[in-house]
Amino acid sequence: MRLPLFIIKYIYYEYWPWWLFYVPMLPLWFYLSLRNRSFAYFSVTNPGIYLGGFFGESKKDIMALIDNAYMAQSVYIENEIDFESVKSKIKNMPYPLIAKPDIGERGNDVEKIIDPIQLQHYHSKINVPYIIQEFITYDIELGILYSRMPNEEKGRVSSVTFKKFMSVTGDGVNTVLQLMQKNTRARFQIKRMLSEQNS
């Protein structure tokens, strides 16, 4: 018997909404806000990024702070420009590509683009500036949390998180949708997948 998704959301923390993680911190946040005379005091922890990277930061602005030797090839696209100009900007970038909003979180509107037709569709539906990047095929992706105090020469890595992407394996019998319905993580993405297919 499969548990309904709304129950799974509250049993397994992996599926909790992001704001729920911050609820236990509210009393401390309120106290420190009064002490520092600012409700956004935490944003000074990383003054090089808008709001300290808490919310609404521009990927383009962050990438400008990173040495090109460590950067994927990227092109910034204003959403007002015509598609011919987009093609001109990426003429030296092979497909597949990754397209993502300049300002956005949690994978919203991030798409793997396999050809110019799909890119044109993405460009026509996205209503904000976005970034096109080369598609990186490394085997794993890690999230690394690094911090350094202003008086320190060297900082520290406090966590390394392995990112496991959702996938299903075909069995020659079930459709992709049926396979997703058998996988708890995938079940949370069915509505989104169907919406993207019909867009």
* Beta-carbon-side half-sphere exposure of residue 47 (alpha carbons within 13 Å): 3
Which burial class, exposed, middle or buried, applies to 125 when counting CB atoms under 10 A from its CB (0-12, 13-18, 19+)? exposed
d(Cα 121, Cα 109) in Å, to the nearest integer?
A: 12
DSSP single-letter state for residue 4: P
pLDDT digits (tens, 9 = 90+) for 157-184: 999 988 877 788 888 999 989 999 888 8
DSSP secondary structure letter of residue 53: G
Domains annotated for the chain, with CATH where assigned, are 25-54 (no CATH), 58-165 (3.30.1490.20), 168-199 (no CATH)
| pTM summary value | 0.68
pLDDT at 93: 92
- Chain segment 43-54, per-residue pLDDT in tens: 777 777 777 667
- The residues near 116 (Cβ < 8 Å, ≥ 6 apart) are 87, 95
DSSP-derived 3-state class of residue 82: coil
d(CA 178, CA 182): 7
The answer to whether 1 touches 177, Cβ cutoff 8 Å, is no
